[in-house]
Structure 1
Amino acid sequence: MAKVGRTAGLIGAAVGVLAAGAAAGVAVERQLIGRRSGQRAQLEAEPFGSLRGTPHVFTADDGVELYVEVDELKRSRRPEPPAKRGLRRKVVNPPEDLTLIFLHGYGLNMDCWHFERRDLAGIGTMVFYDQRSHGRSGRSPKENVSIEQLGRDLYGILEKFAPTGPVILVGHSMGGMSIMALAEAHPELFGDRVIGVGLCSTSAGGLDQVPIALPGRIGMMVRTLATPTVSALARIPDVVERSRKAGTDISYLLTRKYSFGSEVPPAYTEFVNEMIAATPISVIAEFYPIFALHDKYGALEPLQKVECVVIAGDKDHLTPFEHSEEIVRHVPGAELVEVPNCGHLGLIEHHREFTAALLGMIERAELALGQT
């Protein structure tokens, strides 16, 4: 039984990493090559997960409770992003009622925005929330697991936490898809309430044609097997979760390969795995099939009415850079930013480049608003 459990756990770890787009479902080996103490020191040096706002609970239209945090803008003193990080504000009189809403990706939670949350502080009121079934949010009914429902969740968040004033939307991977679903259901918001959009490492469709693990026909075969394999693992959650918590060397290496495109501090890998360790294999199994169905190219037209930046890495194996290029072809005027040596989690791996690109989009949106 122990051997069966270990085998199932290894399969679960590998498929979870490949399917989730951010090493979803794998707990990193804490003692890999004797690195634990060094990782912990780095985690303490950069206090990942320590940035907290005012907590709220928002009830979605189907009754699921979503965990929300709001970083309120201090009206009496509007700080600028730290100049030491190379981020200097160009807008002299930015709007006081600007709200930024951040949407994380599959298998992650709001803490993945750690660097952007730190370095964009003072831009406006910032709203972060855990997508349904992720992080500290409630579990979604299986029948409501869809990109369209995520768009409805975003609409409710926007109405509740940004009832007035201009809004900037920033989404990573599945979060970007959620923004596309909102554009499809409520195109009237774009160019009116929504003045800017940042799409990070995401896709508008065709993910069912992206090979997994290996290129070409073999990679497509792995993709075909991924859904039934994850579903089968979800039926033995106790076995899989025990193996995930134990961690393996191979899971660590897979995490690095499919999350990052360059050498990163081991603490970054540790941080990613600590975020996703609480994502049950059943959630992985429920959400995974929706990405093959995702097709929102027809919903991109409203984004032409706002400032839009599309940012991705050239070594993203999960939402390849070509998908970002295709988004921009459907959104003439959008800025396309290709980050070299960057994987799927560029918002962590190359956070300076991602934050700078987002800041540029925000300032262009503010300037355009001031000219209307």
Structure 2
Amino acid sequence: MANVGRTAGLIGAAVGVLAAGAAAGVAVERQVIGRRSGQRAQLEAEPFGSLRGTPHVFTADDGVELYVEVDELKRSRRPEPPAKRRLRRKVANPPEDLTLIFLHGYGLNMDCWHFERRDLAGIGRMVFYDQRSHGRSGRSPKENVSIEQLGRDLYGILERFAPTGPVVLIGHSMGGMSIMALAEAHPELFGDRVIGVGLCSTSAGGLDQVPIALPGRIGMLVRTLATPTVSALARIPDVVERSRKAGTDISYLLTRKYSFGSEVPPAFTEFVNEMIAATPISVIAEFYPIFALHDKYGSLEPLQKVECVVIGGDKDHLTPFEHSEEIVRHVPGAELVEVPNCGHLGLIEHHREFTAALLGMIERAELALGQT
């Protein structure tokens, strides 16, 4: 059993890498980067997970309950946040009924939008939700684990929480794929209800050709073995979860390598680890195969009707920047933003650049809306 535990620990770290580019361990040995006391101080300085909205439960079309939070646009005499002041300078009459809907990636939860949630506050109503089987949402039936179902979930969220007024959709990784699925099923929404789209570190297809862990043939061999390996681990969840919670130096270093492209505060890595550790190995196993099947290049045309920005990092090993470039080739007129020294979780690592690009897209969308 000890050998199984050690093996599961190493493979568990690799499994986490597959899950949104982060390692599977959570309580890692902090001596690799910094001492625990220093990390605690950094976590207190940036209170990840502390931004909360009004909670709701939305029941998807197959009965799965999705956890939703809404940050209402509050009118007060307090000074407007910087993003709102900038928007008012750019747009003469910004709509007060704008809704922004944020969709997180594989293995994460709504809290990954911490910085964007903080810095875009005041622009409009903001809707965040945990995708099915993630975070505080209910578990999906295995037969309904698909990108298409995630698109149906998004449609339901939009209809329930933004029944009127303009909408901006912002998705990271799997969240961006969910937006593509919505465009495939409901192209009529784009250019009508949906006025802007932000696609962050995502892909429209071809992920089955991206090597894992190592370049070239060895990396492709790892990819070939990944699905049966993850499935096997899902059959011994107790052993895997114990190993994930134990953590190792190597899992911590893998987190940094596959999540980020530059030196980041240790608290950033810890924050990601906590989100990943909340995703059961069985959920990782169920969702992983759907990305090899993902192909939505033929569904991108509706995005030409709205303001669209595609943001990616030059050191993203999970959805390489070439995938962002390919999306833009299928969406003429979309803005392409390459962030230097940026990994898969650029929305955390280089949040200022991501927020600025998203704000620029929202400004252009509202300007266009005012001219119609």
TM above 0.5, yes or no, is yes
- Give secondary structure in 2 for the equivalent of 1:295: coil
Cα deviation, residue 11, structure 1: 1.3
Give the aligned partner of residue 87 of structure 1.
87
1:114 partnered with 2:114: yes
Distance 1:238 1:63, change over 3 A: same
Taking structure 1 as the reference length, what is the TM-score of the superposition? 0.96
Cα deviation, residue 248, structure 1: 0.5
User: Contact between 2:19 and 2:276, CA under 8 Å: does it hold in 1?
Assistant: no
Cα deviation, residue 86, structure 1: 9.1
For 1:114 and 1:213, locate their aligned partners in 2 and report how far apart those are by CA, in whole Å.
Answer: 28
Distance 1:114 1:64, change over 3 A: same
Cα deviation, residue 6, structure 1: 1.9
User: Contact between 1:24 and 1:108, CA under 8 Å: does it hold in 2?
Assistant: no
User: Contact between 1:75 and 1:96, CA under 8 Å: does it hold in 2?
Assistant: no
User: Contact between 2:18 and 2:288, CA under 8 Å: does it hold in 1?
Assistant: no
Distance 1:41 1:78, change over 3 A: closer
User: Contact between 1:20 and 1:284, CA under 8 Å: does it hold in 2?
Assistant: no
Give the aligned partner of residue 21 of structure 1.
21
For 1:144 and 1:76, locate their aligned partners in 2 and report how far apart those are by CA, in whole Å.
Answer: 43
For 1:289 and 1:189, locate their aligned partners in 2 and report how far apart those are by CA, in whole Å.
Answer: 29
Cα deviation, residue 90, structure 1: 2.1
User: Contact between 1:203 and 1:327, CA under 8 Å: does it hold in 2?
Assistant: yes
Distance 1:174 1:83, change over 3 A: closer
Residues 172-183 of structure 1: pairs in structure 2 closer than 5 A: 172-183=172-183
Cα deviation, residue 365, structure 1: 0.2
CA deviations over 1:103-159 (Å, ceiling 9, x no partner): 000000000000000000000000000000000000000000000000000000000
Cα deviation, residue 85, structure 1: 12
Deviates most, 213-222 or 85-94: 85-94
Cα deviation, residue 314, structure 1: 0.3
Distance 1:15 1:276, change over 3 A: closer
User: Contact between 1:18 and 1:258, CA under 8 Å: does it hold in 2?
Assistant: no
Distance 1:348 1:215, change over 3 A: same
Give the aligned partner of residue 33 of structure 1.
33
For 1:64 and 1:269, locate their aligned partners in 2 and report how far apart those are by CA, in whole Å.
Answer: 30
Cα deviation, residue 167, structure 1: 0.1
User: Contact between 1:9 and 1:240, CA under 8 Å: does it hold in 2?
Assistant: yes
For 1:222 and 1:335, locate their aligned partners in 2 and report how far apart those are by CA, in whole Å.
Answer: 34
For 2:148 and 2:128, locate their aligned partners in 1 and report how far apart those are by CA, in whole Å.
Answer: 19
Deviates most, 196-205 or 90-99: 90-99
For 1:88 and 1:371, locate their aligned partners in 2 and report how far apart those are by CA, in whole Å.
Answer: 15
Cα deviation, residue 88, structure 1: 8.2
Cα deviation, residue 275, structure 1: 1.3
User: Contact between 2:87 and 2:363, CA under 8 Å: does it hold in 1?
Assistant: no
User: Contact between 2:26 and 2:270, CA under 8 Å: does it hold in 1?
Assistant: no
Give the aligned partner of residue 302 of structure 1.
302
User: Contact between 1:58 and 1:66, CA under 8 Å: does it hold in 2?
Assistant: yes
For 1:250 and 1:26, locate their aligned partners in 2 and report how far apart those are by CA, in whole Å.
Answer: 12
Taking structure 2 as the reference length, what is the TM-score of the superposition? 0.96
Distance 1:24 1:182, change over 3 A: farther
- Give secondary structure in 1 for the equivalent of 2:239: helix
- Give secondary structure in 2 for the equivalent of 1:101: strand
Cα deviation, residue 161, structure 1: 0.1
Cα deviation, residue 74, structure 1: 1.4
User: Contact between 1:201 and 1:319, CA under 8 Å: does it hold in 2?
Assistant: yes
Deviates most, 3-12 or 117-126: 3-12
User: Contact between 1:17 and 1:25, CA under 8 Å: does it hold in 2?
Assistant: no
Cα deviation, residue 89, structure 1: 5.0
For 1:277 and 1:269, locate their aligned partners in 2 and report how far apart those are by CA, in whole Å.
Answer: 12
Task: Provide structure 2 residue ranges, at least 5 long, that are not aligned to the other structure.
Answer: none
User: Contact between 2:21 and 2:255, CA under 8 Å: does it hold in 1?
Assistant: no
Cα deviation, residue 15, structure 1: 2.8
Cα deviation, residue 20, structure 1: 3.6
User: Contact between 2:211 and 2:220, CA under 8 Å: does it hold in 1?
Assistant: yes
CA deviations over 1:167-214 (Å, ceiling 9, x no partner): 000000000000000000000000000000000000000000000011
For 1:95 and 1:72, locate their aligned partners in 2 and report how far apart those are by CA, in whole Å.
Answer: 14
- Give secondary structure in 1 for the equivalent of 2:68: strand
Distance 1:207 1:33, change over 3 A: closer
Cα deviation, residue 335, structure 1: 0.1
Task: Give the % identical residues.
Answer: 97
For 1:190 and 1:180, locate their aligned partners in 2 and report how far apart those are by CA, in whole Å.
Answer: 11
CA deviations over 1:262-312 (Å, ceiling 9, x no partner): 000011001111111110000000000000000000000000000000000
Deviates most, 92-101 or 9-18: 9-18
For 2:271 and 2:223, locate their aligned partners in 1 and report how far apart those are by CA, in whole Å.
Answer: 27
Cα deviation, residue 25, structure 1: 6.3
Distance 1:93 1:278, change over 3 A: same
Cα deviation, residue 23, structure 1: 3.2
Distance 1:326 1:242, change over 3 A: same
User: Contact between 2:12 and 2:24, CA under 8 Å: does it hold in 1?
Assistant: no
Distance 1:87 1:267, change over 3 A: farther
User: Contact between 1:81 and 1:89, CA under 8 Å: does it hold in 2?
Assistant: no
**Root mean square deviation of aligned Cα:** 1.8
For 2:154 and 2:294, locate their aligned partners in 1 and report how far apart those are by CA, in whole Å.
Answer: 17
For 1:38 and 1:262, locate their aligned partners in 2 and report how far apart those are by CA, in whole Å.
Answer: 19
